[in-house]
């Protein structure tokens, strides 16, 4: 055990990526590809790993009690190394590779993924020299020592920009795919657009030439609109909340968005950008709380440091919202995709109904308030997607299910552990039938007292 703790200190953290190959797990596919492009613009050899082919390996070296994403991502890195070893033979050098696995603080088990992965990698003689690059929600995923210090802020802003572009491309796909003139055209179009964007971020990410990226995004949106068949009527609108990996990783959630579309819905998933905005917002709350404590005991030395920290996080959040709004408004000139949620507004929702608190933390803050916001915006149903035994999502279910029932808005939990359950499709069919009834009964679907 002592060796394991030493390994955590030496092989998990923030260190230079110079001359290394950075391996990024797929969560949201478009976002991961764009992020890899941003890393490459800063001179880092980064690539997104193939996903889900190594699931059997991930399950082989875990007990089954872990979060499902932990098994999936472990399988991805083991499978990737296995293939690289076969490809390179005697030239294989595991020390050239760095595995990218961020973490979060608090009770969510995501904070322990890279520790368990470290223990398992150390159990293989040929994988012990691989390091794990870990960013943390404690500082809102600041890049730290992975890049040169003078490039850290520039990278964070380009990476955030790529994340929002990824969210928007997903929302464009979900808006046009249910109404496409020819089956498969929407996916093919967005796939091509994604690779175009990857090339642009790789070329312009370092210099933050976002003008070129905005121009391309506007062209992509205008082209996407042409894929829609205007004669097709609008469908019931379904909102997805839940654990960020499961709701974003299409293999793990067994393509639930496509299934809901097949059953007659139009779907909007909670974004990745929402989580990043939340971590920055939460750091502001946390710093304010610490500042008040210092003021009470007249600890002026720490007050100065905390004020500096508070200003930094406020600047970060202001910048994030500015860039996010800029891109959404640009796309919405041509296509009516849904806005992303504002974190301060989500906190007001929880306070209004007194059903949860941001002080408690975890992703439940976003899922509970996000589900209620969907209802207030006229959505016809809410799906909570999460791994089996996920604590934050189980909390969400216990609160949101009766709340949605009182609002007469259809709600369903969709839980995943890698197994295929024949009742899942029947459950979703029933849910979509209820959503269609809600759609017919109340086309606006608004709460009597809007939260805005």
Q: By percentage, how much of the chain surpasses pLDDT 90?
A: 79
Question: For 30-39, 62-71, 212-221, which range has the lowest pLDDT when averaged over its residues?
Answer: 62-71
Q: Which tops the pLDDT comparison, 450 or 45? A: 45
Q: Which tops the pLDDT comparison, 168 or 296? A: 168
pLDDT the model gives residue 448: 42
Mean pLDDT of 163-184: 98
Mean pLDDT of 355-374: 94
Neighbours of 440 (CB within 10 A): 10
DSSP track, 152-217 = HHHHHHHHHHHHHHHHHHHHHHHHHGGGBSSTTHHHHHHHHHHHHHHHHHHHHTTTT-HHHHHHHH
pLDDT the model gives residue 11: 82
pLDDT the model gives residue 402: 97
Say how far apart CA 169 and CA 336 lie, in whole Å. Answer: 13
Mean pLDDT of 441-449: 56
Of the candidates 323, 419, 414, which has an alpha carbon nearest to the alpha carbon of residue 55? 419
Q: Which tops the pLDDT comparison, 317 or 298? A: 317
Say how far apart CA 24 and CA 31 lie, in whole Å. Answer: 11
Say how far apart CA 411 and CA 222 lie, in whole Å. Answer: 34
What is the pLDDT of the chain when averaged over all its residues?
A: 91
- Band of pLDDT at residue 232, cut at 50, 70 and 90: very high
Mean pLDDT of 364-383: 97
Residue 183 pLDDT > 60: yes
Neighbours of 129 (CB within 10 A): 14
- Band of pLDDT at residue 10, cut at 50, 70 and 90: confident
Question: For 19-28, 99-108, 225-234, 281-290, which range has the lowest pLDDT when averaged over its residues?
Answer: 99-108
pLDDT the model gives residue 106: 63
- Band of pLDDT at residue 8, cut at 50, 70 and 90: confident
pLDDT the model gives residue 107: 65
pLDDT the model gives residue 6: 75
Q: Where are the domains of the chain?
A: 2-136, 235-270+353-452
pLDDT the model gives residue 429: 97
The angle at the Cα of 409, spanning 353 to 179, to the nearest 5 degrees, equals 125
Mean pLDDT of 399-420: 96
Say how far apart CA 78 and CA 76 lie, in whole Å. Answer: 6
- Band of pLDDT at residue 442, cut at 50, 70 and 90: confident
- Band of pLDDT at residue 7, cut at 50, 70 and 90: confident
Neighbours of 161 (CB within 10 A): 24
- Band of pLDDT at residue 342, cut at 50, 70 and 90: very high
- Band of pLDDT at residue 450, cut at 50, 70 and 90: very low
Give the tens place of pLDDT for each residue, 13-52.
778 888 999 999 999 999 999 999 999 999 999 999 999 9
Q: Name the 3-class secondary structure at 21.
A: strand
pLDDT the model gives residue 206: 92
The answer to whether 146 and 16 have CB atoms below 8 angstroms apart is yes
Pairing status of strand 381-387 against strand 97-100: unpaired
Say how far apart CA 276 and CA 273 lie, in whole Å. Answer: 5
Mean pLDDT of 149-157: 86
Length of the chain: 452
Say how far apart CA 205 and CA 398 lie, in whole Å. Answer: 43
pLDDT the model gives residue 215: 97
Say how far apart CA 6 and CA 148 lie, in whole Å. Answer: 25
pLDDT the model gives residue 432: 98
Residue 451 pLDDT > 80: no
Class (C level, CATH) for 235-270+353-452: alpha beta
Of the candidates 167, 171, 151, which has an alpha carbon nearest to the alpha carbon of residue 38? 151
Mean pLDDT of 189-217: 96
> Residue 181, CB half-sphere, CA atoms under 13 Å: how many?
8
pTM score of the predicted model: 0.92
> In sequence order, which residues have a C-beta less than 8 Å from that of residue 105 and are 6 or more positions away?
111, 136, 137, 138
Say how far apart CA 11 and CA 395 lie, in whole Å. Answer: 34
Token output for 233: 């009527």
The answer to whether 304 and 370 have CB atoms below 8 angstroms apart is no
Q: Give buried/exposed letters for 318-357 (b at 16+ CB in 10 A, else e).
A: ebbbebbeebbeebeebbebbebbbbeebbebbeeeeebe
DSSP at 90: G
């Amino acid at each position: 055990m002592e060796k394991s703790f030493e390994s955590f200190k030496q092989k998990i953290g923030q260190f230079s990526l110079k001359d290394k190959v950075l391996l990024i797990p797929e969560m949201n596919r478009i976002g991961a590809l764009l992020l890899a492009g941003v890393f490459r613009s800063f001179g880092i050899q980064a690539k997104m790993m193939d996903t889900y082919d190594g699931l059997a390996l991930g399950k082989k070296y875990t007990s089954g009690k872990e979060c499902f994403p932990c098994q999936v991502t472990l399988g991805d890195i083991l499978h990737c190394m296995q293939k690289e070893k076969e490809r390179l033979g005697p030239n294989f050098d595991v020390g050239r590779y760095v595995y990218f696995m961020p973490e979060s603080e608090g009770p969510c088990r995501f904070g322990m993924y890279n520790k368990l992965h470290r223990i398992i990698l150390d159990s293989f003689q040929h994988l012990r020299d691989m390091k794990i690059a870990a960013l943390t929600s404690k500082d809102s995923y600041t890049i730290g020592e992975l890049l040169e210090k003078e490039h850290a802020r520039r990278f964070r802003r380009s990476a955030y920009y790529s994340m929002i572009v990824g969210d928007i491309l997903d929302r464009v796909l979900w808006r046009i795919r249910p109404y496409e003139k020819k089956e498969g055209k929407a996916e093919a179009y967005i796939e091509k657009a994604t690779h175009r964007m990857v090339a642009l971020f790789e070329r312009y990410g370092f210099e933050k030439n976002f003008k070129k990226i905005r121009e391309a995004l506007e062209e992509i949106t205008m082209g996407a609109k042409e894929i829609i068949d205007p004669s097709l009527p609008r469908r019931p609108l379904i909102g997805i909340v839940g654990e960020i990996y499961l709701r974003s990783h299409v293999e793990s959630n067994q393509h639930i968005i496509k299934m809901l579309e097949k059953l007659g819905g139009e779907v909007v998933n909670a974004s990745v950008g929402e989580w990043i905005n939340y971590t920055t917002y939460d750091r502001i709350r946390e710093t304010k709380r610490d500042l008040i404590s210092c003021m009470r005991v007249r600890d002026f030395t720490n007050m100065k440091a905390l004020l500096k920290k508070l200003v930094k996080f406020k600047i970060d959040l202001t910048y994030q919202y500015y860039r996010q709004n800029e891109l959404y408004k640009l796309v919405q000139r041509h296509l009516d995709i849904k806005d992303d949620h504002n974190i301060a507004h989500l906190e007001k929702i929880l306070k209004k109904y007194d059903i949860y608190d941001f002080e408690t933390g975890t992703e439940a803050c976003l899922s509970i308030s996000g589900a209620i916001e969907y209802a207030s915006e006229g959505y016809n149903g809410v799906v909570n997607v999460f791994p089996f035994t996920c604590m934050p999502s189980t909390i969400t279910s216990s609160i949101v299910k009766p709340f949605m029932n009182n609002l007469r808005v259809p709600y369903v939990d969709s839980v995943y552990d890698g197994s295929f359950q024949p009742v899942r499709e029947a459950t979703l069919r029933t849910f979509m039938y209820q959503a269609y009834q809600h759609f017919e009964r109340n086309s606006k679907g608004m709460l009597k007292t809007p939260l805005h």
